[in-house]
Each structure stands twice: as C-alpha cells, then as structure tokens.
Amino acid sequence: MCISTPIHVIKRYDGQSLIDLCLKRKWDELRNYLKYSNEQELQMKKEMLLWKNKGHHNGRGCFHYACYWSNVPMDIIELMVEIGGQDLLNSTDNDGFTALGYAGSKILRQKFEPAHESNSLDLEEEIEFSI
C-alpha cells in the first residue's frame, strides 16, 4: 500500500524552504516531506532537492547542508539520494563542491583538525547568519 503525501503539503515547500529545514536541523519535518510519494510527487520533490539559490547560499542546496551536519539522521540522507539520484550526488555549489565533498571535508576535519582550524571548508558563520 502506497501512502501519498497530500499535495498541499508538497506545495507548502519549495527549494528554499527545504534548505531552511536543513539549516535549522528540522529533521522530522524534512523526513515527513520526503516520505510516501507517488511518481508525480517524487518528480516534484526531486526538483526541490536539486534547487539551489546561486546568490544567497553560494549555490548550495539542501543536500549540501544535510551532508555538512554531523547530527543528520542517516535515513534523511538515504531518502534524499533515493529521490535525487545521481543528479543530486553530482550537484555542485558555485565553487564546484559536491555535497559529498562537504561530507568528506567534515570527516577529515574531525580526524585531523581537532581544534577546527580556519583553513578548512567552514559553513558555520554563513549558516548562523542564514537562519
């Protein structure tokens, strides 16, 4: 049995609001949006996941921010990849970084820069400013 997301719930969100959910770490709300879709809804959700504000967020989408945070539930990442597919994995920001690049940078920072030196990719200041 496939339960579909009510269309008014899908229309309530756009690409920017999905970025905002990631910035504010509202994982339950994001999870509820991503789950339970028919084919038409999946296409709309994919478009929202791929949306990027090239000016305000340096071309980052919600997947970039989800991969940046260390506390994001893995099922959120899995749902995003399931919906967005290879297009989402290959999506780059204005500097050419993929979301997986942010995830890799985060892992390397945690392993090799315990004091979190300033020469690494750092979104914290921009994220705090964006919320």
Taking only the tens place, the pLDDT of each residue in 18-55 is: 888 888 999 999 999 898 778 888 888 898 898 876 66
Half-sphere exposure of 121 (CA within 13 A, CB side): 22
Q: What does the pLDDT read at residue 118?
A: 45
Cα-Cα-Cα-Cα dihedral sign, residues 69, 75, 80, 82: positive
Q: What does the pLDDT read at residue 3?
A: 41
- Whether 88 and 80 have beta carbons less than 8 Å apart is answered as yes
Q: What is the pTM of this model?
A: 0.70
Q: What does the pLDDT read at residue 115?
A: 56
d(CA 66, CA 52): 14
Q: What does the pLDDT read at residue 79?
A: 95
Residues of the chain under the 70 pLDDT cut:
1-16, 53-55, 113-131
